[in-house]
Structure 1
């Protein structure tokens, strides 16, 4: 259900959602396996992708149906999805979602938790749950307005519409369109690996500005110390 491969030499972990016959929909077991695969990563970059014709259709509908309308069990399932998205969000690795085919509902929400989202020309994006009385509850209502802005997030979520790669790029759901999204993960690995998580933390810092600026300066100082020889080499 979750396939993990590691290139230790290049310091990249590839995590593949591997239920192609179910469009990589996620069950409880799938979510728990994904959480472990992210949390255990020691590589500089994690590349999250899907096997087959979809990135992920989100929550497995049979799993949702098996909740039997029990609000407490439904809430527990939502909290599990939120936990996985938070693990992705807070990972020290840089997380790159390589999206081919549909990323829908919870699948889109897991992609939103990644630091970088890259789609193929055939990728598509949507929160269709509202059309049958549900909505994605794996942190999407928090992250979607941060990415799109409140107005665009409301229109996108309330309409239940699906957008193609070009519209997703225009809206800011993805940052690039590539035939092979993995190339973006490889590009990141060309940079200093210790600088990547520092820059991620500083950009994601939501504290008040003076505190952010102090942390930014301190982090810069530590990196200058760590890369003094590299800086000298540039000056030669």
Structure 2
């Protein structure tokens, strides 16, 4: 279900279940977490096989769960999304085709979301009496603002790539999102890791500033010979 390959500074992680629009089972979620957190490259590129990014949770699995099992499945999805967000590598989501429900939530956990013109996004679970529970209710308002998040989540409407760009759900629309992952990987690995940690820091402003200054000083010291050229 999860395929990986390394190309230079990028580990490509593919959700590879195209006949199910790359829907994820419990095993698939665990394999995804292992693939992302186990990457040894400065950049991870997360994408889907076939014509979709991911349909999120496999509904055939969800419909067979009792209440306790459903809670455990949601918690697993949250841990996977948290692992993506907290990974040492910069994680770039390449979205081509539909991202639905948990697929949107996995993308939200990535550091960059890059779409093709064919990408679409929707929280369609609301029409089935469900909602995405892999951390999306916290991440979506933070990324696009509460108003946009409420509209997307409560309506279940499909958001196309251009609308996603306008609301800040994605940062770019390109023909091949893998090129953005390669572009990021051209930069210094140490600086990438530090930048990710600093921009993910939710401490108060004074603490953030102190950590930022210290991290900058560390990089200057580490790269003194390069900077002096």
Matched, 1:123 2:119: yes
Contact persistence 2:123–2:157 (CA under 8 A): yes
Q: How does 1:7-156 map to 2 (within 5 A)?
A: 7=7, 10-67=8-65, 70-156=66-152
SS at 1:58 equivalent: coil
- 5+ residue gaps, structure 1, are none
Runs of 4+ in structure 1 off by over 3 angstroms are none
SS at 1:194 equivalent: helix
d(CA) in 1 for partners of 2:213 and 2:61?
A: 47
The match for 1:4 is 4
d(CA) in 2 for partners of 1:77 and 1:194?
A: 35
SS at 2:56 equivalent: coil
- Give TM-score, length-normalised by structure 2: 0.99
The match for 1:203 is 199
Matched, 1:215 2:211: yes
d(CA) in 2 for partners of 1:73 and 1:115?
A: 30
SS at 2:176 equivalent: coil
d(CA) in 2 for partners of 1:39 and 1:198?
A: 17
- 5+ residue gaps, structure 2, are none
Q: How many residues align?
A: 229
Q: How does 1:152-231 map to 2 (within 5 A)?
A: 152-231=148-227
- Give TM-score, length-normalised by structure 1: 0.96
Contact persistence 2:85–2:110 (CA under 8 A): yes
SS at 1:82 equivalent: helix
Deviation of 1:30 after TM superposition, in Å, equals 0.6
Deviation of 1:40 after TM superposition, in Å, equals 1.0
Deviation of 1:151 after TM superposition, in Å, equals 1.3
Deviation of 1:11 after TM superposition, in Å, equals 2.1
Contact persistence 2:9–2:182 (CA under 8 A): no
Deviation of 1:232 after TM superposition, in Å, equals 1.2
Q: Residues 18-66 of structure 1, C-alpha deviation per residue, up to 9 Å, x if partnerless?
A: 0000000001111111011112111100000000000001000100111
Contact persistence 2:11–2:39 (CA under 8 A): yes
Q: Residues 139-184 of structure 1, C-alpha deviation per residue, up to 9 Å, x if partnerless?
A: 0001001101111111110011011000000011100001000010
d(CA) in 1 for partners of 2:9 and 2:184?
A: 11
Deviation of 1:87 after TM superposition, in Å, equals 0.6
Q: Residues 88-114 of structure 1, C-alpha deviation per residue, up to 9 Å, x if partnerless?
A: 000010000000000110001000000
